[in-house]
Structure 1
């Protein structure tokens, strides 16, 4: 199975990089092929909603790094969204990738895929992940993808906090379950 991890943190050595690494270790241990998109460190422009892609066979008006990401999205059987919690949702870096799904909307909605969410935030309140969870659920429903699981790391605003938590082992177990 082909697994695509889409990372959306501007911090290369942040908490979510550890979650992604553990998920990847689990998925590779289970025999899966893993690829990665580091959305925060790629040249990806925002969707303009201009419909150029609809009139030009899925080719976006922007000539940027999403051109490399589209084939990976097509080939993936499972897609893992990895993001720190920014104001109770995805980072803008990962959101740009999601918005650019628009260029291949029909294809993505026609393919059965599994989707996973790995998120970390410093907030400790139980409700802090409700916004991102709801957005993820609705996105999966719209795309007709299976919401295959998530690790929502509360109280993990630093690498030390996440290293001392249960969340890294949960991410590895989730990766093995793909």
Structure 2
């Protein structure tokens, strides 16, 4: 099949803080993704009805989750069919948003079925120090290893806490380059 489905998992404000509304397709180029035959599904965890994993193990890591919220009903079917999962988050105190972490914790209900996918991390933060993304990237790399994903790249928008700063940076170009390679 020629089509890949991009899945953007957003943390709180990922669509409003990260580029203030510019999603993955606009970062990588709407025309580029569509011309290449890609479908894009956007899940905004900040606006969705979500619940944290209760650790009840009713799913036995093979679903379904006991919660019938937007993660289970809307996101999970898309994730299971997706080739590429793109995790998008603003950086809050050196870490991903709580909303994105909630989504990741709910991976538990389908751990085995979510293995062997491609993944990408896109994050922004005001801090421009070289250390700013260390904790987030270490967490992402461990997640990639555990889920047996293939990382296709990271776009780490340091010094970019506002849309205008992102738009005038090299980071949208980096995302487009990654998208063009897919």
Aligned counterparts of 2:63 and 2:15: Cα–Cα separation in 1? 31
Match of 1:2 among 5, 9, 15: 5
TM-score between the two structures when normalised by the length of structure 1: 0.91
Give the 5 Å matches for 1:1-178.
Answer: 1-10=4-13, 12-16=15-19, 17-18=21-22, 20=24, 21-23=26-28, 25=30, 26-54=32-60, 58-67=63-72, 68-109=74-115, 112-178=116-182
Moved beyond 4 Å, runs of 4+: none
Query: 5+ residue gaps in structure 1?
Result: none
Query: 5+ residue gaps in structure 2?
Result: none
The structure with the largest helix share of the pair is 1
Cα offset, 1:89, TM superposition: 1.3
Q: CA RMSD in A?
A: 1.7
1:97-131 deviations in Å (ceiling 9; x for gaps): 1100000012112xx21100000000010011111
Aligned counterparts of 1:24 and 1:4: Cα–Cα separation in 2? 15
Cα offset, 1:63, TM superposition: 1.8
Aligned residues: 175
Structure 1 residues 37 and 24 mapped into 2: Cα distance closer, same or farther (>3 Å)?
A: farther
1:3-61 deviations in Å (ceiling 9; x for gaps): 11112132643334436231362433432111111111100100111101118x51212
SS of equivalent to 1:34: strand
